Amino acid sequence: MNDWELLILSKQSNTQNLSIRYVPSAVEWSGSSPDQGLLGGIWPTMGAEPTTARAPRPFLRTPMACLGGEQHVKQWWSVDGPVAADFTDDGGILVSWMQAQDFLFATVSLPAQPLEEQSLRAYRALLRVLQARQCPHLLRVWNFVPRINAFDDGTERYQLFNTGRRNAFREAGYTLNDGAPAACALGTQSGGLCVAVLAGTRCAIAIENPRQVSSYHYPKQYGTDAPIFSRAAWLRQPSGEDLLFISGTASIVGHRTLHAGDTLAQVKESVNNIEAVLHNANQRAGALLWSLAGLKGRVDIRHAADYPMVSAHLLAQGMTQFCFLEADICRDDLLVEIEAEGQAFAWARDLDRWCVVQVALFT
């Protein structure tokens, strides 16, 4: 009769895990189990008007054209647990949201009205929902700004948007610099301001790019109110894949745009910046978790005619899981922007997430 001691790894936490998928436009959601819930998603309308009416789930449909096929067009965020949907009316601003135990996805779509005020109202309503639902930590934000590079009364519309966002952040007590979420701001040609946010009960770790000035430290030449986002954000997960949210990344070194008018050179510089972000993130993680070939996401191209050249270069870099969209970028001299997500298991690095249990077996 012998006693055997076995080492059994068991979870230290019952927190949920978040995951990301990109699927073809024809695919409909079908969870692998009743407890796997679709939290929300974003995809283009391919020319139709954006979705603004109430829907069973907070999907944000953006008025953008898809280039080169729709293989990775639908972005789905899901969790390994049940979810519930609802709406919040904040002074006439309707926020659609879906919440799980540890995560919340919310959207708001507003009519075309003065942009600074609409930006303030949209973010004010969204941040109130996050706080009321006890899911206050912004992880990733998507902004779709109509005519982003146009001017209203002498001020660029992107700057008006930034001012409204900054005022809402300040009111709600959110950081205006270090620790900001990953984000992007893209231009559309129709509709009003649309914003989607992904938030959690725990915060992500902000990642910056040593090749670039942090966005919230941009000099005043780009506007009175600087943007508020980190170059990337790393979400450690208790028993699933760690997530890396990479903000919209373009041909900016320091704070200046490089290669004005040269789309291919801008794509190459954008990839250089993503590689720098990945290097910094892997260093912070203490392991090689993310690489270019493992990323998925979207590529936003100002001129549709540049799609073949842009896609060919990215495919040559092993970046095969991307959707290509026609969109304006936050600076009028930027021709392309890449946003991405990375997923990677980190159990070998994070054995502190598990406890060792000794079990005696008797025969």
Catalytic residue among 70, 208, 269, 337: 337
Closest of 149, 140, 209, 206 to residue 178, by C-alpha: 206
**326 three-state secondary structure:** strand
**298 three-state secondary structure:** strand
> Which residue is listed with tokens 């600087």?
226
> Which residue is listed with tokens 């040609």?
189
Start-to-end Cα distance in the chain: 6
> Which residue is listed with tokens 């966005």?
215
Q: Dihedral through CA 103, CA 41, CA 335, CA 296, nearest 10? A: 80
* Whole-number Å distance between alpha carbons of 87 and 219: 39
* Whole-number Å distance between alpha carbons of 209 and 3: 54
**260 three-state secondary structure:** coil
In the residue annotation, 337 being an active-site residue is answered as yes
> Which residues, including other chains, have CB under 8 Å from residue 32's CB and lie 6 or more apart?
none
Alpha helices in 222-262 (DSSP H): none
* Whole-number Å distance between alpha carbons of 173 and 123: 12
DSSP letter at 331?
A: S
List residues bridging with 110 in a β-sheet: none
Please, are residues 109 and 194 in contact by the beta-carbon 8 Å criterion? yes
Beta strands in 222-304 (DSSP E): 232-235, 241-249, 252-253, 256-257, 296-301
Interaxial angle between packed helices 115-132 and 157-172, expressed in degrees from 0 to 180 and rounded to the nearest 10? 30
Q: How far is CA 29 from the centre of its chain?
A: 20
Interaxial angle between packed helices 263-285 and 307-316, expressed in degrees from 0 to 180 and rounded to the nearest 10? 40
Q: Which residues are catalytic?
A: 337
